[in-house]
Amino acid sequence: MKIINPSTEEIIKELPEDTAESVQLACKDLSKGQKDWEIQSIDYRISRVKKFSELLLGDIDRLSAILTSEVGKPLVQSANEIKGAAERIRYFIENSKWVLAERIGHKEQGLVEKVTFEPLGVIANISAWNYPYLVGVNVFIPALIAGNAVVYKPSEFSTLTGLEIEKLLQEAGVPADVFRSIVGGGEIGKILLNLPLDGYFFTGSNKTGSFIYQQVAKKMVTCQMELGGKDPMYVSERNSNILLLAQTAAEGAFYNNGQSCCAVERIYVHTEIYKEFLDEFVKEVSNYISGSPTDDGVFIGPLAREGQLDVLTNQVLDAIEKGAKLELGGKRMDRTGFYFEPTVFTNVNHMMLVMTEESFGPIIGIQEVKNSQEAVELMKDTEYGLTSAIYTEDRKEFEFLGKQMSSGTVYWNCCDRVSANVPWGGTGNSGFGSTLSEEGIKAFVKPKAWQMKYMK
Ligand code: NAD
């Protein structure tokens, strides 16, 4: 496998890929290792995870450099991601024990009904490259704490990071037969689907997720899907600080070069403030500094994958052909690397791909709406349902509109954020199941009911 730096297009490393045999062998080892791991105390497992988090933070500069070299995100964003991952781990360290504690359901003379939580066994964590630490820890940390073994399949675009995670977990005391990272692309991931594993936790595109779900269905094991989105934002006329709003919206759309599952992908603005918002938005985006992700101050680096340049170009051509107005950008940058200009469209509608298909890049469509009801109809006109953001200074307006959204998350005056305190998951084509919070800990265990009667 060739690892390519998306900024320089140079091959930075060549690695041997796993094979069907090596993957099968790894899963056999994990199956044995899991049994020993499960009987360790939860305190011990938590202590190993805590150590892993310390090792991550202790090596943050080197790990950020590796992440940036393979996915192209600015160094400061790589470091932010690792710090964010440590924060999420802290949540799991502080909350797993009480969530997984045995619970008495009912007690009376001569009868006890209780529930305990047992690990699933060996689970597959097939993961994405855009936030490999964050989306990784959502799965493998609670899985390990609950006593599962994990076969981790990082994306082929973040393999070096996947191998670092494996190394640090081992250094932290998670045995090699409890966590294994495998190297390869989709074909190697596919091998996992035919092995007798006990759960499949996938983060990635709807297309791959739907394939995996179908393959796994016949096994009757747990399957969770964290997929893409086409997340909308509504900007109500009940706003006074338009400059701040435009800056926040632009960051939500362009952070990590738009390659976030919950990036703002389409914006609807009330006609009363549309012009002012648009001016500030375009001004903000044109001030973004593009360049090598290792240079100070750079906000827009290269895309991680060369192929996405074609997806974005296609959206641009489609939008222009259907009458959209290009306000900014619109093409691949004239330089080495997979760089695309930050792109803003107006005069858009839902006949255009830019308003309906996940872009996963630095491109946004802004549509003027007459009122909030029109905004709600447009926001809901999608097969996806990850997040929806509503900006208004009127909380009642937010609550009225927020209730009408069918996405997994609704945001009030914020966007493009994930918190470990609440469940993370989508509806419709954005997937099903939850990671994070209490729900995201329980996802990795099966409840066992004990109904116990005392014989005299
Ligand atoms: P992808 O679907 O291309 O790949 C995801 C993983 O699946 C990779 O590890 C890949 O090697 C593997 N894979 C590919 N084909 C496979 C197959 N046939 N069988 C088994 N495994 C296979 O997605 P990606 O490009 O890595 O990630 C981007 C997508 O992920 C976007 O749509 C984004 O929105 C989504 N995402 C969602 C969340 C979320 O929390 N909802 C978080 C991050 C990313």
Q: What does each C-alpha distance from 28 to 14, 150, 322 come to in angstroms?
A: 27, 12, 54
Statement to judge: residues 191 and 266 lie in one domain = no
Statement to judge: residues 303 and 318 lie in one domain = yes
What are the pLDDT tens digits along the chain (456 aa)?
999 999 999 999 999 999 999 999 999 999 999 999 999 999 999 999 999 999 999 999 999 999 999 999 999 999 999 999 999 999 999 999 999 999 999 999 999 999 999 999 999 999 999 999 999 999 999 999 999 999 999 999 999 999 999 999 999 999 999 999 999 999 999 999 999 999 999 999 999 999 999 999 999 999 999 999 999 999 999 999 999 999 999 999 999 999 999 999 999 999 999 999 999 999 999 999 999 999 999 999 999 999 999 999 999 999 999 999 999 999 999 999 999 999 999 999 999 999 999 999 999 999 999 999 999 999 999 999 999 999 999 999 999 999 999 999 999 999 999 999 999 999 999 999 999 999 999 999 999 999 999 987
- HSE-CB at 140 with a 13 A cutoff on CA atoms is 30
Q: Which of 208, 418, 419, 434 to mutate to test the pocket of ligand 1 (most atoms within 8 A of CB)?
A: 208
Statement to judge: residues 155 and 75 lie in one domain = yes
| Cβ-contact 277, 269 below 8 angstroms | yes
Q: Of the candidates 387, 341, 348, 345, which has an alpha carbon nearest to the alpha carbon of residue 362? A: 341
Statement to judge: residues 302 and 357 lie in one domain = yes
Residues with CB under 6 A from ligand 1: 126-131, 135, 153, 155-156, 185-186, 189-190, 193, 203-205, 208, 211-212, 226-229, 261, 358, 360, 386, 426
Question: Does residue 423 form part of some domain?
Answer: no
- HSE-CB at 371 with a 13 A cutoff on CA atoms is 1
Which residue's alpha carbon is at the smallest distance from atom 23 of ligand 1? 204
Statement to judge: residues 305 and 216 lie in one domain = no
pTM: 0.97
Question: Does residue 97 form part of some domain?
Answer: yes
Count of domains for the chain: 2
Q: Which of 134, 203, 225, 303 to mutate to test the pocket of ligand 1 (most atoms within 8 A of CB)?
A: 203
The helix or strand, by DSSP H or E, that contains position 380, with its residue range, turns out to be helix 372-380
Statement to judge: residues 242 and 365 lie in one domain = yes
- Residue 325: give the domain boundaries: 232-412
How would you classify residue 453: left for phi > 0, otherwise alpha for psi between -120 and 50, otherwise beta? beta
Question: Does residue 151 form part of some domain?
Answer: yes
Question: What order do you get walking across the sheet with 222-226 strand by strand?
Answer: 179-181, 149-153, 122-126, 199-203, 222-226, 431-432
How many A from CA of 141 to the centre of ligand 1?
19
Q: What is the CATH number of the domain that holds 9?
A: 3.40.605.10
- Phi first, then psi, for residue 114 (nearest 5°) are -140, 170
Statement to judge: residues 182 and 245 lie in one domain = no
